[in-house]
Amino acid sequence: MQEPAPPLRILARCHVLKPGGAPNMLAALLRALGRRHQVELARLEDATPSMIASYEAAGFTFTAGTRYSYRHYDVFLANTLLSSEPVIRAAKHIPVLWWIHEAAVGLKFIERGLVDTRAFSAATRIVFPGPRQPRDVYGPFLSESSWTVVPAAIPPIEGLERQRAEDGRYRVLQVGAVARIKGQNVTLRALGVLDDPSLDLRFVGDDDTDWANALRKELGTRADLQARVTCLGEQPQNESLREIADADVLVYPRKVTSFPLAVLEAMTLGVPVIAVDCPALSDALIDGEDALLMPDGDAKALAQAVKRLRHEPGLAQRLVRNARERIVAKRSYAAFADAMEAELYRAVEIFRANSGSRQHPQPKAAKSLNEAVSHD
């Protein structure tokens, strides 16, 4: 019987380390990988102390400084499109698995010169959360054999229940960076259409942008809405999850090219979802069964959907029940982590075959993380 492959020495890097989607996703994956592998994080000069503390509290080690030797590691895990330059540097020495989350906004980053497109050919393997990103967004930069799809998942959420007291108010929540492509202005217009003083709107996400400033300026001209709209900015993951748990509905009013994790989090926490009717979502969701779908950017349709959910409690309950059964149950985090581990080993195998190196572990005998955990 062939011996299992030895654990990997993984160097991981995100373009930024502060509370938010991509760093939180990396932290969750590294916790899973760290059960079997040696994981180290590249220290960033602008990493926030709170994020470093949260990683270190979870048992992660940071590189001694911002300069490090790639040859001390078996594989480099690069997180987000904006890690292109480290991808190119690392690929000269060790295999690279590049985990790209960004959808259509990625093309804007490329157009603005924020991404070195040579990284697409330098990376050993590239992972996307859905098939529409490589097909509809990054296709011109990819070769057929360089990428794969590993559908996104979220770790189990335990011990988090609704705490907000029932006060007769109805809370609408939108999670995501405050930006034109996210459509917070659509949600704001929907609130105005409803003209219901018992409706509150909360935004969670990075609001240190010109677009966010313009939105605040617009809000400043609406005395009827000011007291009912709260911009919380970027929040630590536990606080973001708390906001979702305490919401009455999560809204996603603009087109996306991958399934948003906030939608999965809401469904896991029993919060109904109103989302845009676009392929990345309608491929998985059934309108009126596990979510309410609306036309892209249609404030009146969003307002009508919110009104339906509020006044048809049976509908909200059915959406929540079906979403948990049809969507959440099929996106196991253990299966996701196993798939990412397999891609790390595959990157090592490809790099080894291409370079003739014999210093990297053989991937084919790798145990799954589930097996590793069960024997810890």
Domain boundaries, the chain: 9-153+332-370, 170-330
pLDDT of the residue at 66: 62
Over range 307-314, report the average pLDDT. 94
Task: Give the model's confidence band at 362: pLDDT under 50 very low, under 70 low, under 90 confident, else very high.
Answer: very low
Superfamily of segment(s) 170-330: Glycogen Phosphorylase B; (3.40.50.2000)
pLDDT of the residue at 375: 26
pLDDT in tens, 138-149: 999 998 789 999
| Structure-model confidence comparison of residues 345 and 43, the more confident one | 345
Superfamily of segment(s) 9-153+332-370: Glycogen Phosphorylase B; (3.40.50.2000)
Q: Do residues 42 and 71 make contact, with C-beta atoms less than 8 angstroms apart?
A: no
Alpha carbon separation from 28 to 111, 153, 155, 296, 338 (Å, rounded): 31, 10, 7, 31, 13
Task: Give the model's confidence band at 118: pLDDT under 50 very low, under 70 low, under 90 confident, else very high.
Answer: very high
Over range 226-230, report the average pLDDT. 86
User: Does residue 132 surpass a pLDDT of 90?
Assistant: no
pLDDT in tens, 35-94: 999 999 887 766 667 667 777 776 778 886 667 788 899 999 999 999 999 999 999 999
Query: To the nearest whole number, what is the mean pLDDT of the chain?
Result: 86
Distance CA 273, CA 326 (A): 14
